[in-house]
Chain A
């Protein structure tokens, strides 16, 4: 019986089908992106990268410098002026000391640096210690 069946064989599908399938395959391959391309195009990747750069900068202290410069350059508030004037009058060294107090008071308040505040307190005590 198998011999009789072997008198026939499957007929190849029409030629256009081969072209259709291979065209579809070519399109499929062309649209396939690599893993790196997909990562590169993803919003998550760029958001994470930006966040990492920002955290890195904050930890390195780089953004602190412009803040300090701005803090020193900006006009001091009335309260700072008044405090600096009263401190300068206690020390008794005039306008230059008052200006120094203004700078010292403005910087630490904005940057929140306790070391500088501590230094300021020491500076304030120094003339008295010197007098005694």
Chain B
């Protein structure tokens, strides 16, 4: 419920001017940052990608009126930006799919730092396509259609990757 509210068009707000962009940033930056990290970007690369994503939003001639779901839109732009940096960064070894350190924090008062590290580690060990869709769905609140759009694949493929991802996580976390 909370996530779908964060996700709605009205909460996204138009990115007009610096204040508007600041509001969009506050609503979505944490998720977009974690998403880019989950693609395998090191912290510094994820920050650069995040900057490019928000500046692209500001440069958009059409504004944000035609964006139905700001979070899905930012996911798509972030993915494109990440892969446009990809080859160069791979050469500089700044992409490490196994490192999600500090990308997540406890969401509930009772969650320990160890528990966060365990879940984070399990996520990092998922194959990239499964990890990507799990992050989009669970932390971004995207629908399978939106996730499939972002990944340029079919809805069925996105859904099955998600199922496989959850099964693998269960196995990794000893819940199977």
Contacts and interface: CB of A to CB of B under 8 A. Distances in A.
Contacts of A24: 51, 55
A4 B173 contact: yes
B119 A5 contact: yes
B103 A6 contact: no
Interface of B is mostly: helix
Nearest to A19: B22
A33 interface: no
A23 to B, nearest CB: 9
B166 A11 contact: no
Interface stretch (B76-84, B107-115, B143-151): B107-115
Contacts, number: 100
Interface string A8-47: 1111111001101110111011000000000000000000
Given A25-B55, A28-B55, A8 B111 contact: yes
Nearest to A30: B18
A6 B105 CA distance: 10
Contacts of A12: 29-30, 33
A131 interface: no
Contacts of B175: 1, 4
Interface in B77-114: 102-108, 111
B60 to A, nearest CB: 12
B70 interface: no
A12 B119 CA distance: 18
Interface residues of B, number: 40
A20 B44 CA distance: 13
Contacts of B116: 7-8
B54 A25 contact: yes
B135 to A, nearest CB: 8
A79 interface: no
A14 B44 CA distance: 11
B128 interface: no
B138 interface: yes
A78 B120 CA distance: 105
23 contacts: A1-B173, A2-B166, A5-B134, A5-B169, A6-B108, A6-B138, A7-B111, A7-B119, A8-B119, A9-B30, A9-B139, A11-B102, A11-B105, A13-B29, A13-B50, A21-B21, A21-B50, A21-B51, A22-B22, A25-B21, A26-B18, A28-B59, A29-B58
Given A4-B119, A21-B54, 19 more contacts: A4-B169, A5-B138, A6-B138, A7-B106, A7-B108, A7-B115, A7-B116, A8-B106, A8-B107, A9-B30, A10-B105, A11-B104, A13-B30, A13-B46, A14-B47, A21-B51, A24-B51, A25-B18, A28-B58
